[in-house]
Structure 1
Amino acid sequence: MALEKLTIKAEKSNPGDFADKIEVLFNPSDITMTIPGGKMDKYGLVATEDLTTLSLNLFFDTSLKSYPPENVQNYTKKIVSLT
């Protein structure tokens, strides 16, 4: 499993205004996208009334940033607040 860096930037209420960035690790080969129903047109666009789901596992390594390691919940709370 080769982990890659990923930076997540959540857009605030104003377009182009981004919140603090959240840096995580992830495995690009584990990303899945589920598109329920719908039909693909000649441009590769899918028309559906259901929600599309993007799934990936995030890894948080707090051991490299400081000693003693910071509580990982300080990072995971930022992700939860995006939902």
Structure 2
Amino acid sequence: MNKERFHNALVLSLGYERIVKDKRITILVDDSDDPLVTLKFEGNPEVIRFKASGEVDAAIAEKIPTIQDDIKAIIEAAHKACLEACRNKF
């Protein structure tokens, strides 16, 4: 996987507003060939982790009901970014 392409695709998909300005959710991505994405939430000890390349259980977003749509959007964006990074290796 092209890690730089993954990060770029994820940033483009989520946008500046969600990644930098929205302080409710912190998005961490490890630097492995199959990135592990970690979501941390302001004021909530719950942490969500998932592999960018894998299928994610739809119920994972239900852990934090007040921001379910945001979590689902991030999961979908990470998965699409991973597919893009694997598809275009150059």
TM bracket (short chain) = under 0.3
Structure-1-length-normalised TM-score: 0.24
Compare relative contact order (CA 8 Å, sep 6+) and give the higher one, 1 or 2.
2
